[in-house]
Structure 1
C-alpha cells in the first residue's frame, strides 16, 4: 500500500480498515475521516490505539511517519510497555495546576458520590478562587489554612470544615497521580477550620411555629409564597429537603393523596409511599397552578442547564434573610425580623427534627415516627421488619396536621 493509493481511498471517503504494515491500519470512518490505528496484543489482550489523522504534518501523519511511529510502538510492546496505558498516563502527568487536578478529582467524585454537586460547589466557590490557578506543587499548608480561615470568618464554620475535608481528598488524589509527594492539607484539623461540630438539638415549640409562620406571611416580598409552601411541607411531612425540592409531579397521586418517592432519590435507597394529609391538598393544587407546565413542584427560578428545580441553598438563604443575615438589593443589611419577635436562630433542617419531636409528643411509637422520616430501623429489628407502616404513618401525619392546621 503506497501513499497514492491511500490518497485515493481518502478521497472516496468510503468506510474501510486496511492493513498497511505489521500492526498498522489505515481506517476510514462512517463520517469519512481517515486516520491511523495501531493494533497489538499485550498480556493476552487485544488492544487498539488511535495514532492520529492521515495527512501531512502538522495536522496529520504521513504513511512514512506512521510506519516509523508504529515501529517504536512495537518495540515498546516487545519490552512489556502498553502504549495505550502510557497514553492515558501521559494525560495525568500533564496536569500541572490545582484546577486540572480538581477536574479529574471531581470527575471521580461524580462516579461514586450520590451528591457530587456538593464538593463541586465548595471547590468552585471557596477553594478555586484562592489556589485554582496555582501549580499543584506550589500549594503549601498556609495556603489551605488561609482558605478555611477565610470561610470560617465569613460565618460559615460548617463549610470551612467541608472545604478542609475536600482539600484533603483533592491533594490525596494528586498524590495518587504521582503529582505531589505529600498532602499539604493533612497538617490541618477541624480546630484550624470551623471547629469540632456538635450535633444540633434545635427544635421549634408550637408557640414558635405560630410566630415563625406569621413572620413568613407578613414578609411575603422577602419570603415568597413558594418558599412558604416548601417549608410548610417540610415541617408537616418530615421529608428531607432534597427529597422535596427535587419532587416531580408524576410522583404524586392527588386523588389518593399519596406520593411515591423513587428508590434512587431516597437516602435509604428504598422506594417509599408517603401518605399526604388532607390539609396538603389545597397546597398542592396551588403549587400545580404556580408551576404551570414544569415537571417539578419547585422549578428553578433562573435559566439553568444544570437542573430544573431550585437550588439547594434557596430555602436556606430565604430563611437567613429573615434573621438579618443577608442584604437587600441595595447591599444594605436586612432587619432581623425573626429575632425581633424572640425566635432563636434555626435552620431549615431543624424543621425535620421538629416534626420528629412533635410526633413523639403526639404519642406516636418510635418505629412509626422513624418511618415517617424515612429512617432505617436500626439493628436486628430493621433487618426483619420490612413492613412499611403506611396506614400507621397516615394516621400519624393526619394527627400532626390537625395539631398544626391553625398555625400554617
Structure 2
C-alpha cells in the first residue's frame, strides 16, 4: 500500500511540476512567432514555426511504441482551423482511446477510407497515391476530369454498373480518340482495383473489358519524324499564324529541336537552372523520366533566344511562365499540344476547328514528343554516333553499361547540340 501511495505521490508531483500553457499564453507565443514546441496538455503540443503559423501535435505511447500526429492547424479566429478549445477536446478524446488500447493515428487513417462513397472520392484517393510514384500525374487527372468524371464521378461506388464503364469508353471511341479511350479504360480499371483492395467494393466493374475488344485497341507506337524540309515548312506556317503560335511557343519548339529535351523538362524550367557562365542547362533527376540529372550544353548561337525569353518572362522565375491565372506558375502541358493540333484542323475543347494548314502544306501530323524523335533522327542522319545521341536524350542505360561506362561525353554532346543549332536556327529564323 505504501509503495502504491508513493508511486501515486510521485506521479502527482511530476504532473504538478510540468509547465502548462493557457489560451492567452498560446496567443502570445504564436503572435511572437519564435520557433519552438510547447506542451499544452497531456500529450498535446503546439509546434510554432513562425509568426501566426503553428500546428497542434498529439504524441502518445502505445505498446512501448512512441508515435505522433498533426491533428490541426492553429487559429484563434478562423473557425475552419483548430482553436485552443477544439485541440484540448481532441486531445482528451485521443487520451481515452489510448487508455483503451486504440491507436488514434490508425483510426484517423481509417476514417479517410470510411468517407469514400462516390467514384470521385475513390479517384481522388487513387490520384493522391499515384502522385507519390509518378512525375507526370497531370495526364491522368485530365483524362479523369474530361472523360470519366462527367459520366460516373457522382455515382455511389456500389451503384456503378459495368455497362456504365462500357458507355463512357464508347463515347471516347466514337469521338475518334482511340488512344484516349484505352487510357480511360485502364484508369477505370486501376481506380476500381484500389476500391476492391481497400474492401470498399466487392468487384471491379471495369475488370472484364479489354482495350482490344472495347476501346479500339492499344495505341500503336508512333513513328513520325520531321526532317529538315518538314521543319522549314512547319516554321513557315507558324509565322503565318502568330496568334495560334505565340512567340514563347515558337521559341520553345525551336529549343526542343535543338536540345532534344522532353516537353515539360523545358517548359517547367527556372532561370536558376540555366547557367550562362558555364553555358549549361541543368535538368534535375526528379524532373526527368529516366530519374537522371543532365547538364545540357548551350550552343552560343541560341543565346538570342534566351535573351528574348527573358524579356517575355518579365520578373517570373520561369522561362515559360503561365500566360493565364493558373494553379501552376509555368506554362500548361497542353499549350503546345493545342497550338499544333489547332493548325492540323483538330477540335480543341469546344472551339470550331481551324483549317488543316499544316497538313495542306505537306507536314506530316506530329505531336510535341515527335520533335524529340526528330532530334534523334537528325543526329543519326548527320553522323552523330549512337552512344552520344542517346546520352543527349538522357535515356537510361542498361545496368551493365551504367556500371562500367561512367564517361559523360560532355565534349561530344556539346558538338552535337551545336550541330543541331546550325541545322534548326536557319529553318526557324531564315533571313
Distance 2:97 2:397 in 1: 62
**Residue 399 of structure 1 aligns with which residue?**
419
Of the three residues 220, 231, 238, the one matched with 1:198 is 220
**2:289 pairs with 1:276:** no
Q: Is the 8 A contact 2:44 2:59 kept in 1?
A: no
Q: Is the 8 A contact 1:367 1:377 kept in 2?
A: no
CA change 1:16–1:188 in 2 (3 A) is: same
Deviation at 1:333, TM superposition (A): 2.7
Deviations 1:110-141 (A, max 9, x none): 22222223322222222211111110111122
**Residue 29 of structure 2 aligns with which residue?**
none
Deviation at 1:239, TM superposition (A): 0.8
**2:242 pairs with 1:244:** no
Distance 1:47 1:217 in 2: 62
CA change 1:407–1:61 in 2 (3 A) is: closer
Specify the SS of the correspondent of 2:62: strand
Q: How does 1:85-234 map to 2 (within 5 A)?
A: 85-191=106-212, 192-234=214-256
Q: Is the 8 A contact 1:245 1:297 kept in 2?
A: yes
Deviation at 1:242, TM superposition (A): 1.2
Q: Is the 8 A contact 1:227 1:315 kept in 2?
A: yes
Deviations 1:337-371 (A, max 9, x none): 11112222111111111110110011111000111
Distance 1:406 1:323 in 2: 24
CA change 1:379–1:227 in 2 (3 A) is: same
**Residue 388 of structure 2 aligns with which residue?**
368
**2:357 pairs with 1:337:** yes
Deviations 1:185-234 (A, max 9, x none): 11111121241221111101221111111111111122111111111111
Specify the SS of the correspondent of 2:195: helix
Distance 2:43 2:291 in 1: 49
Deviations 1:5-31 (A, max 9, x none): xxxx9776678656xxxxxx5969689
Distance 1:315 1:26 in 2: 53
Q: Is the 8 A contact 2:62 2:98 kept in 1?
A: no
Q: Is the 8 A contact 1:13 1:28 kept in 2?
A: no
Deviation at 1:143, TM superposition (A): 1.3
CA change 1:363–1:137 in 2 (3 A) is: same
RMSD: 3.5
Deviation at 1:404, TM superposition (A): 3.0
CA change 1:363–1:176 in 2 (3 A) is: same
Deviations 1:138-187 (A, max 9, x none): 11221112222222322322222222222122111111221101111111
Of the three residues 322, 328, 331, the one matched with 1:310 is 331
**Residue 76 of structure 2 aligns with which residue?**
none
Deviation at 1:253, TM superposition (A): 2.4
What TM-score do the two structures reach when normalised by structure 1? 0.82
Deviation at 1:334, TM superposition (A): 0.9
Distance 2:193 2:407 in 1: 43
Specify the SS of the correspondent of 2:252: helix
Q: How does 1:10-89 map to 2 (within 5 A)?
A: 25=42, 41-42=62-63, 44-46=64-66, 74=99, 76-77=100-101, 82=103, 84-89=105-110
Q: Is the 8 A contact 2:61 2:67 kept in 1?
A: yes
Aligned pairs, how many? 382
Q: Is the 8 A contact 1:148 1:194 kept in 2?
A: no
What TM-score do the two structures reach when normalised by structure 2? 0.78
**Residue 388 of structure 1 aligns with which residue?**
408
Show structure 1 runs of 5+ residues with no match.
2-8, 19-24
Show structure 2 runs of 5+ residues with no match.
1-11, 13-20, 27-37, 49-55, 72-81
Structure 1 segments, 4+ long, off by >3 Å, are 9-18, 25-31, 37-40, 46-50, 52-56, 59-62, 69-74, 81-84, 326-329
Deviation at 1:322, TM superposition (A): 0.7
Deviation at 1:374, TM superposition (A): 1.2
Specify the SS of the correspondent of 1:259: strand
